[in-house]
């Protein structure tokens, strides 16, 4: 067995701090589907690329609100990308394609994460193929009023404003017959999960995630718990080298490392708040002491305030532990908190806005067999969205 260094390292998950320049961090925003237009009017589509080869049995999304659910129901389907989009130039699903891979939800599910069930047929995809996740009325002629949640990662106003991103994205079809048109459904990221045959999930694209609730937590050295961070496992031996996180760090803090469920830390890095570049919430990227990580062993990297001045960290909820596999890092990366007892509280359906840098990986040499281990998800070189 030998460890091979990778220049610059690999981030898991890749860094994607919020660019929303406020203490509240990322925002969930609604894209409304309102109308009575028949003939395909008032459709909504989310565009992502398939993360791996296989058969998709459906997609899931977040319903923000339901004012009126159409009596005939709402249809969820896969369609191909239209090779000749309309005059607006935004992506469109190919509406001439038969909706064979679909499911209709007749009963009003209310607001929340929606798994509409398996589609009538699976859709075969290859990695990198554009997948159009389409939502529309079943009849196309009834009154309806629902909103689909999306993730706002934009910074409002000021220098460095990010007004939009390139992809993944969303489109909506609006207007009356005979000429409803497709247009961009805002600069936000879709909140969607692709479900493969057998009920498995894979990460789509950063920062697309099956987010149900966005959370931010104020705490200090006198809080209980007074330490929050990431519990993680890696499927291959590696070496920890750094951390990123998104926070509003008005007080000094330590970054601590723990092995397993031990409540005594192996090491700590002290950080002075006066080194930060702004007083609002921002992305922090730090190198850490080089630390060997064994395959399938449990470790924790946490943040602990060193004073009674509050700091703020961010995380989000998903609907089930299985849906954590639709996010980079997979089900082995989730939120942990240390109480003053001391003891650990693990939250297997919460993901902190936090990731780790690994700069060496076991290459499998010396054991007679080289094994390629797939992991959700490694990106090199990493990218971070501009924070203005």
Answer whether residue 373 shows pLDDT above 60: no
* Distance (Å, whole) CA 70 – CA 145: 8
Average pLDDT of span 24-44: 60
Residue ranges per structural domain of the chain: 3-17+212-362, 27-201
At 226 the pLDDT is 96
CATH class of 3-17+212-362: mainly beta
The strand ranges marked E within 220-323 are 227-232, 238-249, 253-259, 267-271, 282-293, 299-305, 311-317
The whole-angstrom separation of Cα 194 and Cα 190 is 12
Which residue in this structure is represented by tokens 């203490």? 23
**Confidence band, pLDDT 50/70/90 cuts, at residue 155:** very low
CA pair distance 146, 134, nearest whole angstrom: 14
pTM: 0.86
| Cα first-last separation, the chain | 44
Summarised one tens digit per residue, pLDDT across range 319-342 is: 999 999 999 899 999 999 999 999
Query: String of b and e for 298-323 (b: at least 16 CB within 10 Å)?
Result: bbbbbbbbbeeebbbbbbbbbbbebb
* 7 Cβ contact partners less than 8 Å away, ≥ 6 residues apart: none
pLDDT-derived band at 40 (thresholds 50, 70, 90) equals very low
How would you label 84-121 residue by residue, b for 16+ Cβ within 10 Å and e otherwise? eeeeeebbbbebebebebbbbbeeebeeebbbbeebee
Q: Position of tokens 């925002």? A: 27
User: Lowest mean pLDDT: which of 3-7, 22-26, 209-213?
Assistant: 22-26
For the sheet containing 102-105, what is the strand order? 102-105, 74-79, 130-137, 43-49, 169-174, 181-184
Please tell me whether residue 65 adopts helix, strand or coil conformation: strand
Instruction: Specify the DSSP class assigned to residue 93.
Output: B
Give backbone dihedrals phi and psi of 83, rounded to 5 degrees, phi first: -70, -15
Q: Which of 241, 358, 261, 352 is nearest to 303 (CA)?
A: 352
Q: How many of the other CB atoms lie within 10 Å of CB of 270?
A: 9
Summarize pLDDT for 252-294 with one digit per residue, the tens. Answer: 999 999 999 999 999 999 999 988 877 777 889 999 999 999 9
């Amino acid at each position: 067995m030998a460890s091979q260094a990778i220049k610059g390292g690999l981030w898991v998950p890749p860094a994607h701090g919020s660019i929303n320049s406020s203490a509240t961090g990322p925002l969930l925003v609604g894209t409304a589907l309102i109308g009575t237009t028949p003939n395909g009017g008032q459709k909504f589509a989310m565009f992502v690329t398939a993360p791996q080869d296989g058969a998709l049995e459906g997609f899931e999304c977040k319903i923000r609100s339901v004012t009126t659910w159409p009596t005939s129901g709402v249809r969820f389907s896969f369609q191909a990308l239209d090779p000749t989009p309309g005059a607006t130039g935004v992506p469109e699903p190919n509406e001439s394609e038969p909706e064979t891979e679909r499911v209709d939800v007749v009963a009003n599910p209310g607001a929340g994460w929606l798994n509409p069930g398996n589609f009538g047929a699976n859709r075969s995809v290859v990695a990198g193929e554009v997948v159009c996740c389409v939502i529309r009325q079943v009849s196309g002629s009834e009154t309806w009023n629902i909103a689909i949640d999306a993730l706002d990662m934009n910074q409002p106003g000021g220098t460095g404003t990010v007004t939009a991103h390139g992809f993944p994205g969303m489109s909506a079809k609006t207007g009356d017959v005979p000429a409803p048109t497709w247009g961009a459904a805002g600069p936000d990221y879709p909140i969607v999960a692709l479900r493969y045959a057998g009920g498995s999930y894979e990460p789509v694209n950063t920062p697309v995630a099956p987010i149900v609730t966005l959370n931010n937590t104020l705490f200090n050295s006198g809080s209980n718990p007074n330490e929050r961070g990431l519990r993680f496992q890696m499927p291959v031996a590696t070496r920890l080298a750094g951390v990123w996180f998104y926070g509003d760090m008005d007080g000094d803090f330590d970054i601590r490392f723990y092995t397993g469920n031990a409540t005594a830390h192996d090491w700590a890095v002290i950080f002075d708040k006066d080194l930060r570049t702004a007083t609002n919430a921002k992305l922090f990227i730090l190198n850490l002491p080089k630390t060997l990580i064994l395959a399938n062993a449990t470790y924790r990297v946490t943040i602990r305030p060193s004073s009674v001045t509050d700091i703020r960290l961010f995380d989000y909820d998903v609907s089930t532990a299985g849906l954590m596999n639709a996010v980079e890092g997979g089900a082995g990366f989730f939120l942990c908190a240390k109480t003053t007892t001391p003891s650990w509280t693990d939250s297997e359906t919460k993901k902190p806005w936090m990731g780790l840098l690994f700069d060496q990986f076991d290459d499998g040499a010396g054991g007679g067999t080289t094994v390629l281990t797939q992991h959700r998800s490694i990106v090199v070189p990493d990218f971070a969205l501009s924070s203005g």
